[in-house]
Amino acid sequence: MATEFTLTPQPVRTTVATKQPIQQSLDVSRFDIADLLLYVAALEGTSSPTATIRIITGMQIDSEDGWVVLGTFSVVSVTNTAQALRVTGPMKFIRWEVSSLTGTTPAVTFLISGMLRQN
């Protein structure tokens, strides 16, 4: 049985590489698989802006120590696009990270949701 989730309750807009606040991490300890859907509502800037968004996982939400990359979406270079990503073997928590944002005065606005599954 699958459980629906939203990692971004409302659209997230950022102008710098950043991470989801650690306190907003999602507890996925009961699940083995996450099917994620990234929707990029806007990609702004000049000089061919791009964004790299990934999912990170960790065992605790008390510090940034021990968080590792679970999966990375393809580099985003256009607005109004969606892409899926399946990740397996998450630790206790997951959250998003904009690991790269390039171009002149770039900004990206996105949403992430999906389904959590048990093997």
DSSP state of 20: -
- pLDDT for 119: 80
DSSP 22: G
| pLDDT beyond 80 at 33 | yes
**pLDDT of res. 9:** 92
Given this model, what pLDDT does residue 84 score? 98
3-state secondary structure of 26: strand
87 sits in which H/E element: strand 81-88
At 3 the pLDDT is: 95
Task: Answer yes or no: is pLDDT of 66 > 90.
Answer: yes
pTM for this structure?
A: 0.95
Predicted local confidence at residue 1, as pLDDT: 76
The arithmetic mean of pLDDT across residues 46-68, rounded, is: 96
Under DSSP, the state recorded for 76 is B
Nearest residue to 78 via CA among 55, 35, 109, 105? 109
